[in-house]
Amino acid sequence: MSYVLFNNKLTEFQIGNILWRGHFIGAGQKAVNLSISGGHNFAASTWLNNAFLGAVEGLAPTQNVTWTFPDGVVREGEDNVITVLQE
């Protein structure tokens, strides 16, 4: 099952960092796939419930990346938070 966690159509240029948060109820999820757009030479770091999942350097306008969740990080039946810091 797929969920749209973030969907924001920015119409102006952004300067500085952007912090994204998405929530989901834990139900056996094993990974997250994100399409992160930021133009050329951006970066993004991702966490799930304060566990660092990874970072990507955006050498193309959009990066598609999948991170597997570490064992025990997803809280089954509870709210989980994915945080993306985009620079």
Domains and CATH numbers, the chain: 18-86 (2.60.120.260)
Long-range contacts of 71-78 (CB under 8 A, 24+ apart): 73/48, 73/49, 74/26, 74/28, 74/29, 74/48, 74/49, 75/26, 75/49, 76/26, 76/27, 76/28, 77/25, 77/26, 77/27, 78/25, 78/26
Q: Could you report the per-residue pLDDT of 53-86, keeping only the tens digit for each?
A: 999 987 778 888 999 999 999 999 999 999 999 9
Q: Could you report the per-residue pLDDT of 19-58, keeping only the tens digit for each?
A: 899 999 999 999 999 988 887 788 999 999 999 999 998 7
Question: What pTM was computed for the model?
Answer: 0.80
**Mean pLDDT, the chain, whole residue set:** 85
**pLDDT value at position 71?**
96
**pLDDT value at position 13?**
57
